[in-house]
Structure formats: C-alpha cells, structure tokens
Structure 1
Amino acid sequence: MWTFPSGTLGELTRASHVRARRVLSTLPELRSAARDLPPAPLAAEAFAAALRGPALRVIAEVKRASPSKGAINPGIDAAVQAAHYVAGGAAAISVLTEPTRFGGTLDDLSAVASCVTVPAIRKDFLVHPVQLWEARVRGAAAALLIVRALSPSELPMLMEAARECGLATLVEIRDEEELERALEVGATVIGVNNRNLETLIIDPTTAPMLIPLIPAHCVAVAESGMQSAHDIAPSALAGADAVLVGSAVSASADPVSAVRALAGIPRSTTARR
C-alpha cells in the first residue's frame, strides 16, 4: 500500500503540488508553445542511447544547494557550469529546478538546454503533467520521476504525459518494489538512489544491490553519495550504465577535470545479462 512520503521528500512533494496548482492555468499555453517547437521524435530512445556505452557515462548535475548539505555553490552559472561538464565528457546534464531547498529555477533549465548538445534533464519533485510541459517548453530532453513520491495513479499518468509531450524519463527507485512499479509503467531508464530522500541517509550498497535486477534492455543509473572513481566502482561492477553526480562536480573549482575523472570508468558488460 502506497503512503504519502514522509520527511524531507514529503515536504518537497507537498511543495511541488502547491507549485503545480499555481501554474495549472498555463497548461493550454504550454501545450500551444510546445506545438511550435521542433519535434522530438524517439526522445526516449535517443536519451537511452546517450547513456549507453562500453564505459560508464556521467550525468553531471547543476546544483546550488541541497537539504543534506546546505549551500554547495550558490553563485553557480548554470550555462557555464554545464559547458564545463560537457567539456569534461558528461553525457547528459541534470538541472535542478526546485527553488526552495536546491536553489534551482526553470531559467537554469532553459540556459543549459540552449547551450549544450547533450540531453538536459529537469530534476525536480514532479507531480503533475503541467510540470512536464514546462520542462518540454524550456528545452529539456528528459525529466526525473521519483517513484516514492508518486501514487499508483500518478506514476502512470505522468509517464503517459511525458510520452505525449515528447520527453524521455529517468525513473528513480530505491527498492525492489519500486523497481517493479517502474517496469510496470514502461520505464527504460531507471535510476537507483543510494540516498533515502525521506531520511536523507545514504546507503552506498543500495545501487550495487539493485542494479543487477534491472533488465538488460533498460539503462541503469546509479545516483547519490559518489564523489570519486573509488565510490563509483561497485555500481560499475554491478552493471550500471551511467552515474549521476551532483555535489562533487558542482562544488569543484575545476568542474571539467572533476567530470573527466569520472567519465569512462570501465563497467561490467555481463552483470545484467
């Protein structure tokens, strides 16, 4: 039985519901604006392809702050930072748009999407289709959906809305039950978060334990609590296709080198067969 999340995730999810209600009236306008954009055919396939390869791919995140760390890099210029990440070999850019605890904005998403050729991902606590249309109009190629934050009716609704507006999805889980839910709605890019977003506690064994259970036809992404090649190695050996790194690269004085140190780590090609 699904229950509304507690702790920090619950607070952020409630706040996202409020933000969604505030912009709900703009949905027709957003749909109209999306129709004027170039089509995004095969968005899901293209996004998955960007995260596959013989070596681990890096999703580098633009992140000013977080509930667990507080201020990380408050003055970060999203577009400049994203360009540094791409120069370091990032395969995609995650852009936090949550305003209160992460210091993100939709303008950050627009700035990043307009200056890089790799996929830009809207990372937020999305709960309503209007937020996916916002992401599409702002140039995102994909959006994060957190299984724990979405009820059994909300998750398929948002997956369908993403398909309708031409967005790929990164569907985030933290246990086997959530993996089943993700697969039931057709997720093909699945992230495993080492951090319990309700308690903010990191368990570095979570991703290495769950990634081998993700079907080989899906892209598996390890998330949270990784700063070095040493931290990433267990997930790479478990068969992860990609890793999402935020605080370590956002706080770095040399983001190009920070990403380059993580890109290209060998991954197991047999762990998930």
Structure 2
Amino acid sequence: MNILDKIIADKRQEVALKKQLITSSQLTKYPLFNRNTNSLATALKNSKSGIIAEHKRRSPSKSVINQDLNVQDVARGYENAGVCGMSVLTDSKYFGGSLDDLILARASVKMPLLRKEFIIDEYQILEAKAHGADVILLIAAILSREEIKNLSELAKSLELDVLLEVHNLEELEKSIMPSLDMLGVNNRNLKTFEVSTDISKSLSEKIPSDFVKVSESGISSVEAIQDLKNYGYQGFLIGENFMKTNDPGEAATSFINTLNQ
C-alpha cells in the first residue's frame, strides 16, 4: 500500500465519522454556505502572475515545513502580495491542516480560497462550501470518471470552481468534461514523490483550451513559471517555496515582483 492508498483509506473512515457528527443538512445551514463565491479561474485568466499560494504546515514527503505561523497572517500576507488565490490544506493526519484553517483564512481575506483535500464524497464538497471555500480540488488518481462527474457537477451547482488534478495522460483523458473549470497537472508523482515540470510540459497540448491550465508542485523559480507560460499555463500552485520561509507573504511579494518585471 503506497502513501496515497493509506491517505484514502483513512479519509474514508474520517468522512464516515464526520457524517455521524454533523449531517449534510446541518452543513447547508452554516452561515457561510450561502455566501457568493469568488472564481479562481476568472482571477487566473485576468492575472499577470497566475500565482496560487498555499498554506501547508507539513507533508508526507517533507515532514515539517512550517508549524510556527498562524493561517490568518499567512492569508493576509498572500493577499497583500497580490496572489490570485490561496490553497488551504485541510487534511489533519498527513498535512497538519483543518477546516478551522479555512474558516480563519476566509475571515481574513476576500480572495478565492481553494479547499485542498482528498475529496472522495459529496459530503466534503458541502463541508467546503460551509467553511468558506470558493474552489474544490478533485484528484483523478483516486476517482472514477463517474465520481469526477458527480462531484464536479455538485460543486458547480453550489457555485464552486473545480480544479481537477492529473498526473498522466490516462488520468487526463478520463477526466475531461464540461463541469471542470481548471485542469491541473501535478508535477509530483504521488507514489514516489519525485518532482519534474516535464509532466506539465508533456501534457499541455492535450488539455483543451476551454480549461485554465494549472501547473502544481515543484515550482520554485521565476524561470520555471516563464517556461511553463510558453506551454499555455495560466496558474501556478506554489506551496513549500513560500511556506518554508519566516514570512510567506513577503516571499510571495518578492517572487511576484520579480516575475512581473
């Protein structure tokens, strides 16, 4: 069993328990459930930088990245830096995040927030909406085409943007459907955790132009983004590069200023 299999097995248990504690109908009564969402896809189309900055405390591949900062300060720093949106890890066991992080970020900023989670159940999409997300992530590696269709259509009915993440051509081909806004290519192999932007480059021409192309993971230089822009990418998810510093907002500001020069 690889790390992804372990995460999903744990996630199924976690979701089953959560459903016993808070019902789906209770989630729809949360104050944030009816707020108007902000489109990340639109923000990326209208941006010069295309940066989606991440809040991530730790990961299975890197152990501790940064446990010392509070999410509100990180969110405000990113927004002041001019990023297009913020990705908030909500998995607790493997990434040290929580839905509280999403609520605290939502209370601090107006920019689009992506709930970064291993979504396997419609319940988690209701959770995302109830806790202030504007965007959800779906991972093709853990979902069938039918599941991607059902989950993305539910998200769209709730006015949430959908970022679908793929790692190879097979995942991409099974995933293309109108209920997606963005197609993300993860440069990290989820089984080996090796990283290379060559994956984004090789898949770029296979992604229809109807979708905003997003490159994820392993992006640490302005040169890498300038290179990927030549392949039609408009979004760039950056996590550890900012989070490993003492001031992620300042790191993002400096990075974006250099990129826009």
**Distance in 2, Cα, partners of 1:184 & 1:105:** 30
Partner of 1:49: 42
What is the SS of the residue equivalent to 2:111?
Answer: coil
Query: TM-score, normalised on structure 1?
Result: 0.87
2:235 is matched with 242
The farther-off stretch of 134-143 and 15-24 is: 15-24
Quote how far apart the aligned CAs of 1:13 are: 1.5
Identity score, percent = 32
Tell me if structure 1 keeps the 8 A contact 2:32–2:131.
no
The number of residue pairs the alignment matches comes to 257
Alpha-carbon distance, 1:22 to partner? 1.1
Aligned partners of 1:208 and 1:234 also within 8 Å: no
The residue that corresponds to 2:223 in the other structure is: 230
Q: Cα gap change, 1:215/1:98 in structure 2, threshold over 3 Å: closer, same or farther?
A: same
- Compare 20-29 and 177-186 and name the one that shifted more: 177-186
Which 5+ residue runs of structure 2 have no aligned equivalent?
none
Alignment-derived partner of residue 82 in structure 1: 75
- Choose 133-142 or 212-221, whichever is displaced more: 212-221
Cα distance between partner residues in 2 of 1:185 and 1:32: 29
Structure 1 spans left out of the alignment, 5+ residues:
1-5, 267-273
Distance 2:15 2:239 in 1: 25
Matched with 1:263 is: 256
Distance, in Å, in 1 between the alignment partners of 2:119 and 2:33 is 24
Q: In 1, Cα distance between the equivalents of 2:149 and 2:35?
A: 26
1:19 aligns with 14
Say whether the 8 Å CA contact 1:48–1:188 is kept in structure 2. Answer: yes
Q: Does 1:10 align with 2:5?
A: yes
Q: What residue is the counterpart of 1:269 in the other structure?
A: none
Matched, 1:28 2:21: no
Which of 169, 173, 185 is matched with 1:192 structurally?
Answer: 185
Partner of 1:208: 201
Per-residue CA distance 1:103-161 (angstroms, 9 max, x = gap)? 00100000111211110110011110111111101000011110111123321121122
Do the aligned residues in 2 keep the contact of 1:57 with 1:263 (CA within 8 Å)? no
- 1:144-186 CA-partner distances (Å, limit 9, x unpaired): 1101111233211211221233321111011222222221353
Q: Give the TM-score of the pair, scaled to structure 2.
A: 0.91
What is the CA–CA distance in structure 2 between the aligned matches of 1:35 and 1:192, rounded to whole Å?
Answer: 30
What one-letter code is carried by the residue in structure 1 that aligns with 2:11? S
Give the counterpart letter for 1:20 in structure 2. Answer: V
Seen in structure 2, the aligned counterparts of structure 1 residues 185 and 13 have a Cα distance that, compared at 3 Å, is: farther
For 1:83 and 1:161, how far apart are their aligned partners in 2?
A: 30
Q: Could you tell me which amino acid in structure 2 is paired with residue 12 of structure 1? A: I
CA distance in 2, matches of 1:209, 1:53: 25
Taking only aligned residues, the RMSD between alpha carbons, in angstroms, comes to 1.9
Helix, strand or coil for the counterpart of 1:186? Answer: coil
Q: Which residue of 2 aligns with 1:251?
A: 244
1:118: which partner in 2? 111
Task: Report the secondary structure of 2:105's partner residue.
Answer: helix
Counterparts in 2 of 1:254 and 1:38: CA distance versus 1, 3 Å = closer
